Structure 1
């Protein structure tokens, strides 16, 4: 699938360790990443190694890539540890800055995967500490700009793009600067790794524009996002950059789905679904589990949006099949992606059951969620527990709509109040906003 034969001579050397080139990580499966990471850890810790900084830094990059694809917290800890060791072995201010940059990227990734927003503060401190050392190095400065843009975008999302437009505009200025410098770097080097970094800066910008477009229900802004993603996707070959191409394709498909939702246009939603349901997938579950699951979730969301617009029961059922397929795969507990999947599936099930007037499906879903609640301890995974409560609330509301019983809405309000308390404690503004809106609707109907 990835045409490894063409790459063998440039990939393998040094007794199986792969030549240092971050662009090749895209072609490496999970086992190759593990092998590479372990050998780099050993090389960095070996007394005879003259320059320990290089293997430690590369180990941090490899383990971060493994963590990005799997959500494995052990890999994320190994990435952070390797970056810290690289910082200790740094011989120049520039090397120390690069190590701090790698630590910051691991903090941001961990925050993305597990919604541990406190790590964003750590990333901010690391970037501030390394920034002074890179004024005269254009290559490092371009990388710093990209990561600073990543951080600014996440801080804007954490605050709420609809609530604080100034923060979103500040993040966009950071991203625009990062895109400009990254593109300039690609023109100078033509290196595959720089091309991928430039792409990451561009889809950071498109991601933020997408959130603003959704918040404001602006189809023109969504059309601009689609145009950006189409241009970006044309720069990559799925045979050589499968992971980046897949991530851009996912965003392009979702942007079409959301534009169709805003306009009430099933044709545009169908275009997005077509992109997301292509038979030839450049990335399978074994190569990148989280990318595969995210792709399936996006497809299910597209089908769900089309079903809600057309009130087609068969499309609802197909969306549920895709949600179930994604949830059958093992995912780390606490992953935000897992919570999103469970949350979206519950919403789809409730809408479908309401359309059919199917109490039996709701009863089975309630039993499933309560079984998960018994296994999920709020003191160990408060956010996961709260998400389950919001899902139960959706089912209670759907049952109340079918039966007309007020008691169901009272149960829903109780579950939402418990969830809202957790979201507020954890400073999860987007989840708090959603739960509060749901609670307000329940109270209005009571």
Structure 2
């Protein structure tokens, strides 16, 4: 995940492991460091990024502010490194919260660090800062669906890829990740395998470097998780079981390098990823037991992450659990599974609140609409769809498209899908298909204006489904 030259202090890596969870240990840290005798402005981790996993979001934000103060202090030793430390922490804040401001701070701090390293003629430092800058852009592309950032990532990482150290290995992983995301959006099996092949050499280098550096070991685990996400996503889209099997093997390798007591958040993320991949595999193989196992893994991951530790991870896992429960419901024709899935989606929607720019919001909205449709189909209760349509129409009327166009367009997207589902269930209501087409078209126009390509794809797919239905 995050990396520096420093290794964790003996305070956290020696002696016996406490019997309570390390999130409880994080609370103990908070109480210890918030005492007047412990000045907080230099932070709690001492620049050791490997310890960030133990801090909840509130403490993490305090750590980021402290890192900014330390970097700006006139008497600071090695201000370039302090600036890089601040970039690492701000990126983690953005990753857990979806805060665009924190992400901009991370990118700005990384760029400032690179400038300082260049002035001091320290090429290794420049490489590390450029990697951090590019990884901030990659996170922005993931969170907000801005594929335009990928060109900036390639331009930033290509010169760094020749670096013989860890920065070069991470740069190669970043470039492979860009190829993988493109394959995820529209490539074939060969594209997915080619992207996966580009991960092999840099991951071996990171594994070797991580034997003596905890932060680099975690970085290697994170990159394996990125690779697994690409393989599982391509496997689910292309209905290719071997790709998902490969993803599960990569996640097992990543899990084997982590200590849940000291890296609880990273461990929970990978556990959730494995559960989602297992549920996707169960959908292809019609294996009810595998689907139940996926649901159980996702439930276990939720128990590992208190909501205040990483709100966005908690929300993402709720959405993944909703999808896994839907898969289980499809395999068992059990309305109760769909009802539980709907509750997961509702919790995710509530937690996202006004963060309509997040790509996750679109996934949750689409999943919820599909879940409502299947629940109505299984139960024969069209009142479920009536209530959902009424709620969305009320929400659409209350929203001002000029003030929050993305939220308005997302509501149009969900409403269009509900219209589609009603026609699929009843076989009647051509006027609803016309209404769905208008809603998809309105949403597509807004998403295009906002530059939200992933959401444009969802709206375009809806219009394509309607066109095919019309032709049939």
TM-score, structure 2 length as denominator? Answer: 0.84
Larger deviation, residues 30-39 vs 212-221: 212-221
The residue correspondences of 1:308-347 to structure 2 (distance < 5 A) are 308-331=330-353, 332-347=355-370
The aligned counterpart of 2:11 is none
The residue correspondences of 1:354-393 to structure 2 (distance < 5 A) are 354-374=377-397, 384-393=407-416
Q: CA deviation at 1:413?
A: 2.5
Q: CA deviation at 1:63?
A: 0.5
Q: CA deviation at 1:286?
A: 0.2
CA distance in 2, matches of 1:381, 1:321: 26
Runs of 5+ consecutive residues of structure 2 not aligned to the other structure = 1-20
Q: Using a 3 Å threshold, how does the CA distance of structure 1 residues 176 and 432 change in structure 2: closer, same or farther?
A: farther
CA distance in 1, matches of 2:155, 2:289: 47
CA distance in 2, matches of 1:80, 1:5: 27
Structure 1 position 122 matched with structure 2 position 144: no
Could you say what secondary structure the match of 1:277 adopts? Answer: helix
Cα pair 1:424 1:432 within 8 Å, conserved: no
The aligned counterpart of 1:183 is 207
Q: CA deviation at 1:279?
A: 8.4
The aligned counterpart of 1:46 is 73
Q: Using a 3 Å threshold, how does the CA distance of structure 1 residues 228 and 140 change in structure 2: closer, same or farther?
A: closer
Cα pair 2:440 2:459 within 8 Å, conserved: no
Q: Using a 3 Å threshold, how does the CA distance of structure 1 residues 386 and 8 change in structure 2: closer, same or farther?
A: closer
Q: Using a 3 Å threshold, how does the CA distance of structure 1 residues 142 and 73 change in structure 2: closer, same or farther?
A: same
The residue correspondences of 1:392-411 to structure 2 (distance < 5 A) are 392-400=415-423, 401-402=425-426, 404-411=428-435
Cα pair 1:161 1:167 within 8 Å, conserved: yes
Q: CA deviation at 1:53?
A: 0.4
Larger deviation, residues 286-295 vs 226-235: 226-235
CA distance in 2, matches of 1:5, 1:121: 38
Q: Using a 3 Å threshold, how does the CA distance of structure 1 residues 328 and 387 change in structure 2: closer, same or farther?
A: closer
Q: Using a 3 Å threshold, how does the CA distance of structure 1 residues 131 and 223 change in structure 2: closer, same or farther?
A: closer
Larger deviation, residues 353-362 vs 242-251: 353-362
The aligned counterpart of 2:137 is 107
CA distance in 2, matches of 1:107, 1:379: 28
Q: CA deviation at 1:280?
A: 7.2
CA distance in 1, matches of 2:173, 2:352: 32
The residue correspondences of 1:226-305 to structure 2 (distance < 5 A) are 226-278=248-300, 281-305=303-327
Cα pair 2:57 2:93 within 8 Å, conserved: yes
CA distance in 1, matches of 2:302, 2:238: 35
Structure 1 position 161 matched with structure 2 position 183: no
Q: CA deviation at 1:306?
A: 1.4
Cα pair 1:104 1:127 within 8 Å, conserved: yes
The aligned counterpart of 1:4 is 25
Q: Using a 3 Å threshold, how does the CA distance of structure 1 residues 280 and 80 change in structure 2: closer, same or farther?
A: closer
Q: CA deviation at 1:118?
A: 1.4
Larger deviation, residues 41-50 vs 343-352: 41-50
Q: CA deviation at 1:403?
A: 6.8
1:166-190 Cα distance to aligned partner (Å, 9 max, x none): 6434422322222222112223x2x
Length, aligned pairs only: 436
CA distance in 2, matches of 1:168, 1:79: 30
Cα pair 1:276 1:298 within 8 Å, conserved: yes
CA distance in 1, matches of 2:200, 2:409: 36
Q: CA deviation at 1:130?
A: 3.9
Q: CA deviation at 1:110?
A: 0.8
CA distance in 2, matches of 1:333, 1:27: 29
CA distance in 2, matches of 1:128, 1:341: 35
The equivalent position to 1:23 in structure 2, one of 50, 57, 60, is 50
The equivalent position to 1:417 in structure 2, one of 423, 438, 441, is 441
1:348-389 Cα distance to aligned partner (Å, 9 max, x none): 011111222323222221122234434555566655544433
CA distance in 2, matches of 1:161, 1:175: 17
For the aligned residues, what is the CA RMSD?
Answer: 2.8
Cα pair 1:261 1:305 within 8 Å, conserved: yes
Runs of 5+ consecutive residues of structure 1 not aligned to the other structure = none
CA distance in 2, matches of 1:408, 1:57: 54
Cα pair 1:357 1:402 within 8 Å, conserved: no
Q: CA deviation at 1:324?
A: 1.4
Q: CA deviation at 1:76?
A: 0.8
